[in-house]
Structure 1
Amino acid sequence: MSIAPRLQRFMEKNGIDYEIMPHDREVVASKIAQAAHISGNAMAKGVLLKSDHGYMMAVVPASHHVDLQTLSHRAHERLGLATEAEACSIFDDCDAGAVPACGSAYGMPMIIDTSLDDQDELYLEAGDHRNLLHIDRQAFAKLTADSEHARISRPH
Structure 2
Amino acid sequence: MEKNVLGNRTITQIGLLVNDIDETSQAYADFFGIDKPDWFWTDTVDKAKTEYNGEPSIARAKLAFFDMGALQLELIEPDKHPSTWREHLDKHGEGPHHIAFVIDGMKDKVSLMEKNGMPLVQKGEYTGGRYAYMDTFKQLKIMLELLEND
TM-score under structure 1 normalisation?
0.28
More strand by share: 2
TM-score under structure 2 normalisation?
0.29
The structure whose RCO (Cα within 8 Å, separation 6+) is larger is 1
More helix by share: 1
